Structure 1
Amino acid sequence: MRAMKFFALTISIFTIAGVCFLCGAGVDAARAETAACKISFTSPAQNAEVGSSGAVTGTADGLGKGHHLWLLAHPKRLAKEWWPQGGDETTVEDQKWDVLVYYGSKDDINKLFEVVAVVVDDGVNKELTDWFERSKATNDYRPIRFPRIVKECESPRLVVKKTSH
């Protein structure tokens, strides 16, 4: 009788350990899947000096279906106001992208600017595209709030200093 209880307890422990192992493997697989989207800047360098506009380049790997890369910029002192850059979602070819970014007006010389690369879903992509179409039609480029982003993708930030216009 005692041997049967010991055997049943041993089987239960191994069963629970096996289930925990499988659950852990599922969590690791999910982590690997969500970490698959990687975005990075290649130029300019962090804290570089820039003029009124310039190319910002980088790489993007693992963008899923329905995911869209955008660049946003703002004077760092304006925490909640952002301007989408590039006129449309960022085109990625061979995992590389290149966007022309504008750094404000003459009044912004010697100010810090922040550029962020974000990945958004189809709905937010449409909102950003519509913002560009309206802004171009009215020549009124009002800032937007930071958009809802795809959390599984990195959103790197680049800080530069505008030194000329």
Structure 2
Amino acid sequence: MSIIAGACMLILAYASVMLLGFYQIKEGQVGLIKEFGVLKNELIEPGFHFRVPGMQEVIRMDLMIQTDKVERVPCGTANGLLITKHTLQEIYIDLFDRLDEELMKALSQDLKKWAPGIEILSVRVTKPTIPKKILQNVEQMEKVKVEFLIAVENKGQ
């Protein structure tokens, strides 16, 4: 009787361990397997799967599109002067349409290096609100520039 009881206990223990090996990856997730602490180079798709308990560890990762919104970012001003190698005209009008693509390119390059597997699908930058003091400075400079050009033109006649 003790041999039968021992065999039953062994079978019960084996069945328990095997049942612990089944796991589920839900929709919107992928799984990664670590075998003896080493990450295997394969993705586990959603569904039911089996792992060897004690040898393999399952890591579940959510796959989702994340949208982040950043507001009120101070950009390159010191004492009301815009610090840049571009004019306000270039920043606000001429080059602004390329900002999304340039930012996405730079971020994607950094992600490849520092966070492989994360992908940026799109970047959208809204036009900034120009601080009143900077706008007044630019308008004053434009006014002086126009007056200078008119004076030069009148002097030449």
TM-score using structure 1 length: 0.27
| Between structures 1 and 2, the one with greater helix share | 2
Q: Where is the strand percentage greater, Structure 1 or Structure 2?
A: 1
* Bigger CA radius of gyration: 2
TM-score, structure 2 normalization: 0.28
